[in-house]
Amino acid sequence: MSDEAPVPGELAIGDHLAGYRLDGVIARGGMAVVYRAFDERLGRSVALKVLAAPLARDEAFRQRFIRESRVAASVDHPNIVPIFEAGEAGGVLFIAMRLVQGRDVLAILQQEGRLPAGRACHIVTQVAAALDAAHAQGLVHRDVKPANMLRDAAAGGEDYSDHIYLSDFGLSKRWSSSSQLTSVGEFLGTMDYVSPEQIEGHPVDGRADQYALACSTFEMLTGAPPFKQDETMAIMWAQVSATPPALTSRRPDLPAAVDPVMAKALAKQPDERYRTCLEFASALRRACGPGRGSPEPPPVPPHERTEMIGAVAADPLPPAGTPPSPVRPTSVPPPPVPPTSVPSASVPPPAEGPPPVPSASVPPLPVPPTSVPPPAEGPPPVPPHERTEMIGAVAADSVPPAGTAPPAGTAPPAGTAPPAGTASPPPAETPPPDAPRPAPSDSPPQPTGAP
């Protein structure tokens, strides 16, 4: 906030204008003064830009200012300072905008010097997006410069956390407007960044803002605009006729690819520039090289990188659905297995492979005999001594002497024809194979039937 005494004819601190109380001066230029003001109707602090009195007396400028300020207020973009109100009160032209707490890019350059390429690209991209949004509404800013790029202090941090607002859209104009001098003999722009077509009074469009953005980019990267002269006429001539210097001639650490990018954006003829501001910003980021336009992750220390590689090599995970691969033989022999006190069954060694593990010193436990159940078919086996006795009994008693007629009621021996006139007896019933056999007896068999 400026502590300078007010210029005669200016509003003083504590004055009221259109419902705003002036609390202090933020900045002062040749065309306007920016105040920190308090909106007494809504109870909020705002930035109130009050234009110089001679501009308000120019009827054409006054009408255009009010009309274009209202159009600019309709552009909604995160990188454009919102305009709350624009108008005239008591013969004074004013614009009420959001109060952005922070420094402008020009103040950052004056305090910190030229910016790293990555940070400059980050700022340029945000401003380019704001300009393209305004151009889509038919507006040309006409005064793009580092002093109108405000860094929001609420973003926090440094480098890649910058949030930039582009301000001063209240001085924008329609594309069909010309860039003639005002009645007070001043350009509606700043000479260090103004395009050749604005100086020559030709109709302007969004490519005039691109030229001013390129001049601002040159200053961010080198610390000074491309045509820095002490005399205003010398700057005007250079903007119209001089070839811009190569960026790497003042910033040798940057890649050579940035020179043709800047040369195209600073071309004297609008048709030779990029079609949009974002196209220029994208080309600048690519030319600056990978990692210069966006933050890079921190490098992995060598010892951690080695451990990570070893872990991946030791335990690779196969893709989903892939069958496990067979284990490859290795030349490293397996470690010896120490003896154990737990007994284990002896297992014959395999045909191939490592030598068998020596048996433990503890004898194996006895294995109890296993009873095998008898087969399911047939009668139980007969002991040998009973089988011999049965065979002898059959041989001694069951076969009659030769020539002896069989007792009545008994069947003749096998293969003997029955006597003539005798009816054949019915066949004896054959016991089933599962029936028990009769036990042998010491008494002679008893005759059956009649004698």
Q: Which residues are catalytic?
A: 143
The three-class DSSP label of residue 52 is coil
Token digits of residue 216: 């601002």
CB atoms within 10 A of CB 408: 11
| Exposure letters 315-353 (e unless 16+ CB within 10 A, then b) | eeeeeeeeeeeeeeeeeeeeeeeeeeeeeeeeeeeeeee
Q: How many CB atoms neighbour CB 449 within 10 A? A: 8
Q: Nearest-CA neighbor of 131 among 273, 257, 251?
A: 273
94, 95, 96, 99: CA torsion to nearest 10: -120
- State the Cα–Cα distance between residues 124 and 278, nearest whole angstrom: 9
How far is residue 46's CA from residue 55's CA, in Å, rounded to a whole number? 22
Pairing of strands 83-89, 32-39: unpaired
> If DSSP codes are grouped into helix, strand and coil, which group holds residue 270?
helix
- The kind and range of the H/E element at 38 are strand 32-39
CB-based burial of residue 225 (10 Å sphere; 0-12 exposed, 13-18 middle, 19+ buried)?
buried
Which residue is associated with the tokens 């009973």? 386
Tokens of 265: 């954006």
Query: Which pairing describes strands 139-140 and 173-174: parallel, antiparallel, or unpaired?
Result: antiparallel
- Angle (deg, nearest 10), helices 277-288 and 206-222: 30
C-alpha span between 73 and 95 (Å, rounded): 10
3-state SS string for 301-337: CHHHHHHHHHHHHHCCCCCCCCCCCCCCCCCCCCCCC
